[in-house]
A = this chain, B = another copy of it.
Amino acid sequence: MHCAHPFCRTLALAVGLGLILSTQSVFPQAKPAREAIAAAYKVFEAAYFKGDAEAIAKQYTLDAELFLPNGPIVKGRQAIQEVWKNLVSSGGNKLRIETIEVQEAGNWAYETGKFVAMTPDGKVIADAKYLVIWKRDESGEWKTHRDIPNSNVPMKQP
């Protein structure tokens, strides 16, 4: 099959461009977000136990935002690291994160889930649900871009 007509060459170029664009939207990346998220949380849980706020912060984009309850929005990886430094303290506590749902669209994904944090003697210090926006960066890595949890525990009546 060969056609040297100039129209054919123009069409061939257009087809190529069209297919490249459409393939990018249909197969957005090699590594599915769900798999990347599961791997990221293994690292996250280990870092939490070790009290390694820097390793946790590295999982966020540089311009990430953390929406913690009872305070303003924490902006940027550096500020987020400071917050986690307080939360993990010197380590020893256990964190278990469980993804419920992952929905991808191109370089973006949202994820819902829940987590429980416990002291070494099993006292629950956090029992919460969350919504996270993941962003795939230039290197193809999925990073946390927006992160908002809130508690599952009913308010104490005054």
New A-B pairs, 7, CB < 8 Å, besides A1-B7, A70-B154, A103-B108: A14-B15, A15-B15, A22-B22, A65-B112, A70-B155, A105-B106, A150-B150
Nearest-CB distance from A129 to chain B (Å)? 5
A70 & B151 in contact (Cβ 8 Å cutoff): yes
Q: How big is the A interface, by class?
A: 35 or more
Is A149's CB within 8 Å of the partner chain B? yes
Listed in ascending order, the chain A residues whose CB lies under 8 Å from chain B are 1-3, 5, 7-8, 11-12, 14-15, 17-19, 21-22, 24-26, 65, 67-73, 103, 105-108, 110, 112, 129-131, 133, 146, 148-155
Give the copy number: 2
Shortest Cβ distance from A1 into chain B, in angstroms?
Answer: 6
Closest Cβ–Cβ distance, residue A14 to chain B (whole Å): 5
Chain B residues contacting A1 (CB-CB under 8 Å) are 7
Ordered by A's residue number, 25 sampled pairs between the chains whose C-beta atoms are within 8 Å are: A3-B3, A8-B8, A11-B15, A14-B15, A14-B19, A15-B18, A17-B18, A18-B21, A22-B22, A65-B112, A67-B130, A67-B131, A67-B150, A69-B150, A70-B152, A70-B154, A70-B155, A71-B154, A105-B106, A105-B108, A106-B106, A108-B108, A108-B110, A130-B148, A131-B133
